[in-house]
Amino acid sequence: MWACRPAPPSAPDVASSGDSAAADVQAMDVAAMDASACIAAATAALSSVELELRLWDGEPAPRVEFAWPVAPECGALVSSAPWLEVTGTNATRTAQVDTSALRTGIHRAAIELRASDGSVLASKSATLRLFRPPATRDDRRVMVIGYDGARPDAVEAARTPVLDFLRRRAVQSFDARTQLAAQTVSAPGWMSTFTGVDPSRHRVVSNGEYAMRDSAHRTFVARAVDAGHRAVVSTAWEEVTTQIVETSLGATSVERNFGFDSFAARWLAQRARTGVERLYVQHLNAPDAAGHSTGFSLDNPRYIEAIESCDQNLGVLIDGVLARATVAREDWLFVLTTDHGGRGTTHGPLDDDNRRIWFVASGPSITPATIAAGASHMDTAPTVLDWLGVAIDSSWGLQGVSRAR
């Protein structure tokens, strides 16, 4: 029993002799048992409180009410940070967020049950991720995140709190289309996403076959470099960095990384946290891998899990941006899309299951809108270039449309 009990917050000195020592030990025992009852009740009550919060500028600050069946003698329930206020004196408490003094960034706090001596008996951490538009929009930054083989219906069915947050301030379509000039496989899909033109122009029509590529149709990475920018590209599918993003671009222009999704995303997040570059790209492979092994279907739990793993990696990537020391004065855009859908355990056909995709361009300066018709992953290149202030030359023949300004 004794060993399992938490130590009392501050053990009173135990007298050294006689009956009074025994009485003190007994008193301490009671206090300790009370503390464990307090800890158990408070821990159970706080465990159900959801305080992982994501907010855009102007969104109403949430109030979270929760039951508080903890004896008043246990201590006071308080917040460790001014932006999170805890109110209420009876069986119900309210955690109220106040963002008025907060800047763009990650804000952490805790709700704590503090005993009369100030010791913390139980706590619940709270995290608020907040984006506000910068005061001026001259410091533009972009992160492009591609999910390989992610059907829009499955993306909408999966539990994706980070993407849901981005979609609250986005120009978007969940009825977009892939390139329409070649089979719906990764190389033509990502080539069209990166170049803004379809395979009739860039001439990459199947995976691994780049011999016919028309290099005049440069990727948005190359065009950004042409305009004096540098880029960081991380991928879980090697052809993105060994074939699609021009290898003629040296390491001083484009830093490249290859690894499994979570490793690659962590690497890019770390680079984005301190990077001076304005353009970051992450390709994630999990949906395609799950689709090929168990089925591209919203009825397939493995496929849904793979999309949810992308959302966790998306959270890591966004946290990298939010942790930047300069993030509050930067104008960030997050562009997300996919290269193709799928059906059964394959993709490639030219039908709706394979060609219907999604496109999201999100950021604190974006006016939310649904793209009525005609959205494509080819919109990625002009959207990125437009955001970075790279003038789009009509001679490039871009078939996509800039969706965010």
Tokens 């939010």, located at residue: 322
Nearer to Zn ion (CB atom), residue 179 or residue 186:
186
CA distances to 162, 367, 402 from 316, in Å: 10, 24, 26
Token representation of residue 177: 């289309």
Nearer to Zn ion (CB atom), residue 243 or residue 253:
243
Tokens 């395979």, located at residue: 199
Interface size with Zn ion, residues (CB under 5 A): 5
Does residue 239 interact with Zn ion by CB under 5 A?
no
| Torsion angle in degrees (nearest 10) through CA of 188, 190, 196, 201 | -20
In angstroms, give the least distance from the CB of 244 to Zn ion.
Answer: 12
Region near Zn ion per CB under 5 A, out of 35-43, 97-105, 289-297, 338-346: 338-346
Q: How many Cα atoms are found within 13 Å in the side-chain-facing hemisphere of 215?
A: 9
Nearer to Zn ion (CB atom), residue 54 or residue 283:
283
Region near Zn ion per CB under 5 A, out of 47-55, 148-156, 324-332, 390-398: 148-156
- Cα(8)–Cα(31) distance, integer angstroms: 7
Cβ–Cβ < 8 Å for 127, 53: yes
Does residue 148 interact with Zn ion by CB under 5 A?
yes
Amino acid found at 69: P
Tokens 């940070």, located at residue: 81
In angstroms, give the least distance from the CB of 187 to Zn ion.
Answer: 8
Region near Zn ion per CB under 5 A, out of 67-75, 185-193, 195-203, 305-313: 185-193
Residues in the chain, total = 405
Residues 200-229 that bind Zn ion (CB under 5 A): none
| Torsion angle in degrees (nearest 10) through CA of 248, 254, 259, 261 | -120
Does residue 105 interact with Zn ion by CB under 5 A?
no
Q: Which of 173, 179, 186, 337 binds Zn ion (CB under 5 A)?
A: 186
Dihedral class, residue 392 (left if φ above 0, else alpha if ψ from -120 to 50, else beta) = beta
The torsion angles phi and psi of 40, rounded to 5 degrees, stand at: -65, -45
- Cα(42)–Cα(19) distance, integer angstroms: 35
Does residue 112 interact with Zn ion by CB under 5 A?
no
In angstroms, give the least distance from the CB of 339 to Zn ion.
Answer: 4
Does residue 339 interact with Zn ion by CB under 5 A?
yes
Region near Zn ion per CB under 5 A, out of 124-132, 282-290, 313-321, 326-334: 282-290
In angstroms, give the least distance from the CB of 75 to Zn ion.
Answer: 55
Q: Which residues of 18-43 are buried (b: 16+ CB within 10 A; e: fewer)?
A: eeeeeeeeeeeeeebeebeebbebbe
- Residue 399's nearest CA partner among 217, 147, 172, 150 is 217
In angstroms, give the least distance from the CB of 183 to Zn ion.
Answer: 11
Region near Zn ion per CB under 5 A, out of 165-173, 242-250, 283-291, 384-392: 283-291
Nearer to Zn ion (CB atom), residue 180 or residue 323:
180
Does residue 261 interact with Zn ion by CB under 5 A?
no
Does residue 288 interact with Zn ion by CB under 5 A?
yes
Region near Zn ion per CB under 5 A, out of 60-68, 143-151, 302-310, 380-388: 143-151
Nearer to Zn ion (CB atom), residue 36 or residue 346:
346
* Per-position DSSP letters for 41-95, written without gaps between them: HHHHHHHT---EEEEETTSPPPEEEEE----GGG-EEEESSTTEEEE-SSSEEEE
Region near Zn ion per CB under 5 A, out of 8-16, 297-305, 333-341, 369-377: 333-341
Q: Which of 105, 133, 149, 320 binds Zn ion (CB under 5 A)?
A: 149
In angstroms, give the least distance from the CB of 354 to Zn ion.
Answer: 10
Residue 141 CA to its chain's centroid (Å): 16
Cβ–Cβ < 8 Å for 187, 340: no
In angstroms, give the least distance from the CB of 153 to Zn ion.
Answer: 17
In angstroms, give the least distance from the CB of 269 to Zn ion.
Answer: 23
Nearest residue (beta carbon) to Zn ion: 186
The torsion angles phi and psi of 72, rounded to 5 degrees, stand at: -60, -30
Q: Which residues make up the interface to Zn ion (CB under 5 A)? A: 148-149, 186, 288, 339
